[in-house]
A and B are shown apart, each in its own frame.
Chain A
């Protein structure tokens, strides 16, 4: 540590050691943790869970032909997500949206299972076509009785409508 830095208070030394990038990343991580808590509360809400499940299953039929091969090497963990992408991904994980797709078809072959667990990944990668209308459908059902939860879902659906390039860091 140089002589000049030694004269500073610990707080000032800490500021000097930080870069804008590390500070931003640190506070984004804290916000993501807050968001996970909020999203998990949504999952515990019985009506939200029911309507999300129904909305997901309504879309499964259209995509049931997707096979496990389609997701080979394309797991979300392999992708580098932007802060907005992490918010959407955390929402899918915390609310368990991926798991809702498993029950509808009754199929237990590899394709169906992979589809179910990859629904979240697929929804993120192709958000405008899949995740956004799913969330909107659930939000509309919830609006009358649970306006706040409906607003959350609408807010996430608007994010999901944006081009998927905003979710993935280049």
Chain B
């Protein structure tokens, strides 16, 4: 999961997301509850999907 999170974050940063904010989430991720981790991952994955879609269409 740590590798997946890192990869998603790296991809988001490539697409323009804020590095400092996402690095913060990577730091605290292990201390989040299971539901918080799931919510965060859903957030990041959905955002990545949307940004990739925009990037493909532009």
Residues of A within 8 A of B (CB): 12, 15-16, 18-21, 23-24, 27-28, 30-31, 34, 38, 82-84, 87, 148, 151-152, 155, 158-159, 162, 166
Contact = CB atoms under 8 A, between A and B. Distances in A.
Interface residues of B, number: 26
B21 A20 contact: no
B18 A82 contact: yes
B28 interface: yes
Contact of B43 (A12, A27, A38): A27
Interface majority SS on A: helix, strand, loop or mixed? Answer: helix
Interface of B: 15-18, 20-21, 24-25, 27-28, 30-32, 36, 39-40, 43-44, 46-47, 50-51, 53-55, 57
Nearest to B20: A84
B16 A20 contact: yes
B50 A87 contact: no
Nearest to A88: B24
- Select the residue from B28, B32, B43 with max chain A CB neighbours within 10 A: B28
B47 A16 contact: no
Contact of A38 (B17, B27, B30, B32): B32
